[in-house]
Amino acid sequence: MIMTIVKNKVDAVIVGMGWTGAIMAKELTDAGLNVVCLERGPDRDTQPDFAYPRVVDELEGSVHRKYLQSLNKETVTIRHGVNDAAVPYRQMGSFKPGTGVGGAGSHWSGCHFRALPEDFKVRSNIEQRYGKKFIPKEMTIQDFPVTYEELEPHFDHFEYVCGTSGKAGVINGKVVEGGNPFEGSRAREFALPPNPNYLGGELFYKAAREMGYHPYPIPASNASGPYVNPYGCQMGPCNFCGFCSDYGCLNYSKASPNACILPVLRGRKGFELRTLAQVMKVNLTADKKKATGVTYLDAQGRETEQPADIVLLCAFSLFNVHLMLLSGIGVPYDPVSNTGTIGRNYSYQNLNRVSLFFDETVQANQFMGIGGGGTTIDDLNGNRNDSAKTGFIGGGIVWARQPGGGPVRGIATAPGVPNWGSGWKKGVKEAFRHSFYYEVQGSCMAYQDAYLSLDPTYKDAFGRPLLRMTFDWHDNEIKASQYLVEKASDMCKVLGPKAIKGDAKKDGDHYNVTQYQSTHTCGGAIMGSDPKTSALNRYLQSWDVSNVFAPGANAFPQNNGYNPTGMVGALTYWCAKAVRELYLKNPGPLVQA
Amino acid sequence: MSDDTQSPSRRSLIKTMMFVPIGAAAATGVVRALQPATAADANAPEGKPNTYTPAFFNQTEWKFLSAAVDRLIPHDEHGPGAIELGVLEFLDRHMQTPYAAGDIWYMQGPYVSAKPEFGYQGKLPLRDILRVGIKNVDGYCASQFGGKAFADLDRKQQEEILKGCEGGKLKLEDISAKLFFTNLLNETRNGYFADPKHGGNKDMGAWKMIGYPGMRADYLDWVEVRDKPYPIGPVDLAGRRG
């Protein structure tokens, strides 16, 4: 007989210690709550885990993937269509979830955008501009149940927590020179000015202006100078070490839960962090209307119950959805009848690259890098994309970004260079210091046949069904890819490179999980204004189990052209405010269904 | 020839090979000495001989790899080759890590075939992909070239075999030739370019070739310099400068 250890009840239990978990823990302990955080991975901090020189070992970081989730315990299965059998995501490829304290927030790059005001109302905006019939029936896009204006203070606060370095384009409704003239209005400038620019990012200004575009610095949560955030956490100027994505920051420059929030949480009264604690499920009352806490396996593998008044699902987006499905929270989505909510509207990111190769006089130095820095344009994003003309809904940004590349992470070579032998050696030698790339980061709409569910065959290391992802590219995204890559290539030609290599999606292309594209896996437990078509209400509260909140990219009804972290942080502060100011006073549904 | 009648020198040579500690210089020349004095000698790579004694791969596998990595990254006018930079040592050591045993891969069945877009769906971890692949390619060569192993073929023939694997044209018994080739090439590149602490990239030779400053990880003063190549040589994780 298995004896379950039962812990003392707490006010709130948090599942996962990445950005959303750290923000929630800070906000709720500020409000005087007793909070326990359960993190499946190990504890991590700048010292010793991200300390130089050990952290910059490319073999450990980018081959052994030391800072990412190991797939041997938990992964997903993937299939293209609702009638296919899914197979496991056995090796890390298309997306890279994190683990441990900091989560994906410790190994991200640092691109820190806000969504555009029109990104919040994609459906009504398109219907207004082009009529209701313009949106294909199978495209299940929805408006966010919050507005840009409501989130603005939270975008702002999160940027100041992160020491985000950039240039405002619109402050209090007035366009400011040097920033993005198309952005939603800000209350003030960024926390720090933009970082210095590398060659490719500088040339991007030239190319973009030649095309009549409006280039601006990518908002980077990589500090451009010494900085102390509102919590008193110190950050140092980014030194362009070139180890952002896949790695923890050695320099307290890249914003992370570890550097920007945990220093004030550790040791705080009312905060307890338990690592190597694998949450198995959320426990519900018999009527499934309330959560009583969670069951987890402690570091020794013992089944342990943590009772709590509030359960905050703060795992990586995919695993939030997994836990909801495993726990019986809400009704699983059925793509045939288009009913149910958990798993609905899974979306991704439409990422495409154009590489530029120059001769040896051009010092591109791709080993120098900053994850979030560089240059971008919004001229093809949001309302600048005239869908009637381009034939696709959504948009995207084109950017010059150089997160830093070492040879183990791969050296892109010019067209025609072989993969081995003397020809390859010559090719990598010519390319390594004299090439850079631009990327197109496109939005990804939601569809009736793109969703998350439990796999009928494959199990994780704990015996639970794996999460199953059903996803493929649709014509809308393929068209967008071709259009945006063509525009990016036109920009590249202005710079006169020796060679250009682009990778636009071709008609009929299918989702390929073997190539890294983006860790921006979104949706599956989306926020909305209708409990029939969304898992969460406007406060990220479960419609079905009112003491469960699930902040994260899982809440996006569809994905826009930006990196999600800025939006995820803002939504989490918005959610925390609702818990503090509304829920605690009157526990129960914050929006009547 | 039975063991008893072996010459003392050969016996002591084998003994030496079996008992020298990994990486010891005492075994210099062992690998070459054990290879047949035919095509392999004619194919002997330039540069320093490999002095490492394998603990994972057997002699047949070692012989295969000695030839294969030299075809994949040869010594030439562009820079050092895989052999002289210790890629073989890297491979042998790397195959003994949890990573090569499948530590971070999902390794539960059922194993089914799927379109290439879904990635690797087999049950072999990396170390066995290499082992099974080597055995199968050697078997293929023996059947096509009158019993000769891959390493006994001439360079042109070896390159043709590798191309056949790369393009997936070559059909092997137990494994996809393309899968084997992709993993062999990735691992060879990893050994060539990873920090010397992992056994390859001796004296940071591969980094010097491409102008990579290695683990310097501090470039703020050079981000905005446009007119001059980056001037400082590489440094490795142990703090050695190249």
Domain range holding A164? Answer: 5-583
Record the tokens describing residue A145, joined without a space. 């149940």
Domain count, chain B: 1
CB A136 within 8 A of CB A143: no
Cβ contact A150:A217 at 8 Å: no
Task: Assign B179 a pLDDT band (cuts: 50, 70, 90).
Answer: very high
- How far, in Å, CA of A518 to CA of A93, rounded? 9
Residue A592 within any structural domain of the chain: no
**Mean pLDDT across A254-262:** 98
Instruction: Tell me whether residue B146 is in a domain.
Output: yes
* pLDDT greater than 80 at residue A124: yes
Partners of B178 on chain A (C-beta within 8 Å) are none
Above 80 in pLDDT, residue B41?
no
CB nearest B217 (choices: A59, A241, A510) = A241
User: Per the CB < 8 Å rule, is B106 touching A88?
Assistant: yes
Flag if A425 and B185 touch (Cβ within 8 Å). Answer: no
Helix (H, G, I), strand (E, B) or coil at B18: helix
Rounded Cα gap, residues A43 and A28, in angstroms: 21
Query: Is there a domain that residue A219 lies in?
Result: yes
DSSP track, A385-430:
S-HHHHS-SS-EEEEE------GGG-----TT--SSHHHHHHHHHH
Reduced to 3 states (helix: H, G, I; strand: E, B; else coil), residue A38 is strand
Q: At A480, which CATH number?
A: 3.50.50.60
List A220's β-bridge partners, or say none: A111, A165
Q: Is residue A591 part of a domain?
A: no
Interface of B with A in 87-146 (CB under 8 A): 97, 99, 102-108, 110, 112, 114-121
Identify the pLDDT of residue B149. 98
Whether B105 sits inside 8 A of A239 (CB atoms) is no
How many pairs of residues across A and B have Cβ atoms under 8 Å apart? Answer: 170
Structural domain total, chain A: 1
Scanning B181-210 for CB atoms below 8 A from A yields 185, 188-190, 193-195, 197-198, 206-207, 209-210
Identify which of A91, A407, A421 has the shortest CB distance to residue B206.
A407
Residue B235, in any domain of the structure: no
In a domain, B36, yes or no: yes
pLDDT in tens, A368-377: 999 999 999 9
Is residue B241 in some structural domain? no
Q: Is A533 contained in some domain?
A: yes
Indicate the average pLDDT of chain A.
Answer: 97
Provide the residue type at A331 as one letter: V
Provide the pLDDT confidence category of residue B5 given band limits of 50, 70 and 90. Answer: very low
| pLDDT the model gives residue A399 | 98
Q: Are strands A499-502 and A350-357 parallel, antiparallel or unpaired?
A: antiparallel
Is residue A244 situated within a structural domain? yes
CA-nearest residue of chain A to B126? A91
| A593 domain residue, yes or no | no
pLDDT at B182: 98
Task: Give the position of tokens 């590798």.
Answer: B162
Question: Any residues with CB less than 8 A from the CB of A472 and at least 6 apart, and which?
Answer: A80, A81, A449, A450, A510, A511
Residue B17 lies in a domain: no
Q: Give percent of chain A above pLDDT 90.
A: 99
* B136 has pLDDT over 60: yes
Handedness of CA A180, A182, A183, A184 (dihedral sign): positive
Q: What percent of chain B has pLDDT over 70?
A: 79
Task: Give residue B71's pLDDT.
Answer: 98
Complex ipTM: 0.96
Residue B38 pLDDT more than 70? Answer: no
Give the CB-side neighbour count of residue B211, counting CA atoms within 13 A. Answer: 19
pTM, full prediction: 0.93
At A3, is the pLDDT very low, low, confident or very high (cuts 50, 70, 90)?
confident
Chain B interface mutation, best of A80, A197, A408, highest count of B Cβ atoms under 10 Å:
A408
Residues A230-244, mean pLDDT to the nearest whole number: 97
Of A65, A71, A368, the CB nearest to B219: A368
- Structure-token pair, residue B234: 């590489």
Residues of chain A with pLDDT > 70, as a percent, come to 100
In chain A, which residue's Cα lies nearest the Cα of B78?
A426
Alpha-carbon distance A305 to A326, whole Å?
Answer: 16
**Residue A588 lies inside a defined structural domain of this protein:** no
Reported confidence tier of residue B51, pLDDT bands at 50, 70, 90: confident
Parent domain of B199: 24-222
Contact yes or no for B112 and A87 at CB 8 A: yes
What is chain A's length?
A: 593
A248-262, A329-343, B7-21, B48-62: segment of lowest average pLDDT = B7-21
Give the mean model confidence (pLDDT) for residues A31-39: 98
Answer yes or no: do A250 and B217 touch at CB < 8 A: yes
Confidence bin at B49 (pLDDT 50/70/90): low
Whether residue B38 is contained in a domain is answered as yes
Task: Tell whether B9 is covered by a domain.
Answer: no
Q: Residue A440 has which token pair?
A: 């197109």
Tell me: the pLDDT tens digits for A309-363?
999 999 999 999 999 999 999 999 999 999 999 999 999 999 999 999 999 999 9
CB contact under 8 A, B227 and A407: no
Checking if the pLDDT of B43 tops 60, the result is: no
Burial of A459 (0-12, 13-18, 19+ CB in 10 A): exposed
